[in-house]
Homo-oligomer: A and B are copies of this chain.
Amino acid sequence: MQPLLISDSLLVKLKSIGSLRKMPSDSILMNEDDYIQAIPIVLNGSIKVMRTDEDGKEILLYYIKPGESCVMSFLGATCNERSKIKAIVDEPAEILMLPISKAVELIRTFPEWIEFIFQLYNRRFEELLDVINAIAFQKVDERLWELLKKKAAMNNTKELAVTHQQLADELGTAREVVSRLLKQLEKSKKIALSRNKVTIL
Contacts and interface: CB of A to CB of B under 8 A. Distances in A.
B111 A108 contact: yes
Contacts of A51: 129, 132-133, 136
Interface residues of A, number: 35
Given A61-B132, A132-B131, A125 B79 contact: no
A71 B122 CA distance: 10
Interface stretch (A93-101, A113-121, A160-168): A113-121
**How many copies of this chain does the complex contain?**
2
Interface string A102-142: 00000110010011001101101110110111011100000
A181 interface: no
A81 B121 CA distance: 13
Interface in A50-71: 51, 53, 57, 59, 61, 71
Nearest to A85: B129
A122 B59 contact: no
Contacts of A126: 84
Across the A-B interface, give the 9 residue pairs with the lowest CB-CB distance, nearest first.
Answer: A75-B122, A53-B137, A128-B128, A136-B172, A79-B122, A59-B136, A78-B118, A135-B135, A135-B136
A75 B128 contact: no
Nearest to A53: B137
A72 interface: yes
Interface string A137-170: 1000000000000000000000000000000000
Given A53-B136, A61-B132, A79-B119, 10 more contacts: A51-B136, A53-B137, A57-B136, A75-B118, A75-B122, A76-B122, A78-B118, A107-B114, A108-B111, A114-B114
A65 to B, nearest CB: 18
Contacts of A133: 51, 53
